[in-house]
Amino acid sequence: MKRTLVLIRHAKSSWASPLQADFDRPLNERGNKDAPEMGRRLRKAGLIPDLVICSTAQRTRETATHITTATGYDINSVQWQDKLYHCAPAVFEELLYELPDSARVVYIIAHNPGITEYANSLTRDFYTADMPTCGVVATAAEVDKWEDFGQARKKVILFDYPKNDHDS
pLDDT in tens, 2-21: 999 999 999 999 998 888 99
pLDDT value at residue 166? 63
Asked whether residue 168 carries a pLDDT value surpassing 70, the answer given is no
Fill in the DSSP letter of residue 89.
H
pLDDT value at residue 165? 72
**Range of lowest pLDDT (92-106, 133-147, 153-167):** 153-167
- Over residues 36-80, the pLDDT tens digits come to 999 999 999 999 999 999 999 999 999 999 999 999 999 999 999
pLDDT value at residue 63? 98
Question: What is the percent of the chain with per-residue pLDDT over 90, rounded to a whole number?
Answer: 94
Sort strands 51-55 and 2-9 into parallel, antiparallel or unpaired. unpaired
Its pTM stands at 0.96
Q: Are 32 and 62 in contact (CB under 8 A)?
A: yes
pLDDT averaged over the chain? 96
pLDDT value at residue 18? 84
CA 130 from centre of chain:
14
Asked whether residue 115 carries a pLDDT value surpassing 60, the answer given is yes
Asked whether residue 147 carries a pLDDT value surpassing 80, the answer given is yes
Buried b (16+ CB within 10 A) or exposed e, 133-157: bbbbbbbbbebeebeebbeeebebe
Asked whether residue 123 carries a pLDDT value surpassing 80, the answer given is yes
Domain boundaries, the chain: 22-48+61-80, 82-104+118-162
